[in-house]
Amino acid sequence: MMKMKLVKTLLLLLCVKLFCYAVIGAPQTCPANNEDKCGDSDEWKGEFFPDIPKIKYEGPSSKNVLSFKWYNAEEEILGKKMKDWLRFSVAFWHTFRGTGADPFGAPTKYWLWEDGTNSLNMAKRRMRANFEFISKLGVDFWCFHDRDIAPDGKTLEESNANLDEVVALAQELQTKAKKRVLWGTAQLFMHPRYMHGAATSSELKVYAYAAAQVKKAIEVTHYLGGENYVFWGGREGYQSLLNTDMERELNHLARFFEAAVAYKKKIGFNGTFLIEPKPQEPTKHQYDWDAATSANFLRKYGLTGEFKLNIECNHATLSGHSCHHELETARINGLLGNIDANTGDPQVGWDTDQFLVDIQEATLIMLSVIRNGGLAPGGFNFDAKLRRESTDVEDLFIAHIVGMDTLARGLRNAAKLIEDGSLAELVRKRYQSFDTEIGAQIEAGKADFELLEKKVKEWGEPKVASAKQELAEMILQSVL
């Protein structure tokens, strides 16, 4: 009996001890600004990515998954270094805030440096991880949303204070690492206050709150030396026209942009303002549906001199266009400013934000970039995330390496097409009838209908030449 009591006592003590270990070892959860009650240090012993070396160019024959096969930063292509054509940027929100969660499942990614909190100190730890990551990847830029890098507070003042503290660390780290901000933005779509939109909200107080949040986001982007500032109107649109005054909302959006331009000039921020088109999701119909719609909006309100477009490839396909179409539409309107380098899944009907791996699409993208003379002060930011099933830290690097190599290979292919000249010659020949005297008159606006009618009677029935589409596709395939 005594032995049984002793065994029970020892088992009880063991259970208590194991429980204590479990409580101590469990990840803490606490709100932002919990006055150091949890998440009490942003320090991280050693490296965040100790098993990952600095990624280097090893050429197409390399079997090392942690190396570049096509992206050679210092190599010159058509008179510019590859890094200057591409100007790669890591997107903080997907790379360091992406959890793998989706509408049907819980998070799948649990990075070692995360402690389960949304504390200010946890935000600082993520920022340190960010700069180690981009330094090892060999990328010069990063980009962010305000609420992704710093926790939301209970008041605007508290949110601003949180942001100031994290931005001060970011400034210190990027100076040391010699990195720059490609662009910053305000997250005006996640908080419940923005359920009817931000600049197009039916509530005046929400409009004002959005203005205050953008004001602060512009200030910190300016402080960090950001080269651009992006407006993505995730909820600037409508679900039904039955309860929506579309004209009034569009006018409000224009006034919002005008005020942003005025404030930008007031504080001396010289970065480019960018609008990012998207057709729907989360809003049923968004006001910046595609590049053409956005260009028309800017023209109507006299804003074309103040804004350019940030084209996202996955958004292009959702609007029924190719990424190449959207880039060319932006380019010929003088509005191509930046590219979100991602793609969607043709079998999935939503914005999946996958890393771009299609060499042909990358080649067409780079043709537009070269014709544009480059993207600076814009660039390519990887608004792309790991698949839900990819859960190793190594996968963060592999995904970016593949994305960078794909666009670098696209650049090499586009340069070959331009240097070869066959595709350009095919296009020139297709329109050569307009290189005549009467063609020049038409293009100069000096050929009226009477003149053209007279010419038709003189020429008779036109002979229409082949478009040679298959030959154009053959030429493209020859460089892939």
In the chain, where the domains are located: 56-410, 423-477
Instruction: Determine the 3-state secondary structure of 182 from DSSP.
Output: strand
Q: How far apart are the first and last CA of the chain?
A: 82
Nearest to 180 by CA among 64, 83, 260, 255: 83
Is there a contact between 313 and 361 (Cβ–Cβ < 8 Å)? Answer: yes
| Per-residue confidence (pLDDT) for residue 256, from 0 to 100 | 98
Q: Report the C-alpha gap between 396 and 381 in whole angstroms.
A: 15
Q: Residue 190: its pLDDT value, please? A: 93
CA nearest neighbour of 236 among 194, 173, 296:
194
**Would you state the pLDDT for residue 14?**
35
- Taking the C-alpha atoms of residue 216 and residue 214, their distance in angstroms, rounded to an integer, is 5
β-bridge mates for residue 231, sequence order: 275
What is the model's pLDDT at position 349?
Answer: 81
The whole-number pLDDT of residue 21 equals 31
Would you say 141 and 180 are in contact if contact means Cβ atoms under 8 Å apart? yes
- With beta carbons less than 8 A apart as the criterion, state whether 231 and 257 touch: yes
Of the residues 145, 222, 252, 321, which is catalytic?
A: 145
Q: For each successive 10 residues of the chain (480 residues), what is the average pLDDT?
A: 42 36 33 45 86 97 98 98 98 94 92 93 97 98 97 96 98 97 96 97 98 98 98 94 97 98 98 96 94 98 97 95 98 98 89 95 98 98 95 97 98 98 98 97 97 97 96 97
Q: Provide the pLDDT for residue 32.
A: 38
Query: Cβ(145)–Cβ(185) under 8 Å?
Result: yes
Q: For residue 46, what pLDDT is reported?
A: 83
Annotated catalytic, 145?
yes
- Indicate the CATH number for domain 56-410: 3.20.20.150
Residue 3 is predicted with a pLDDT of 43
At 312, which helix (H) or strand (E)?
strand 307-312
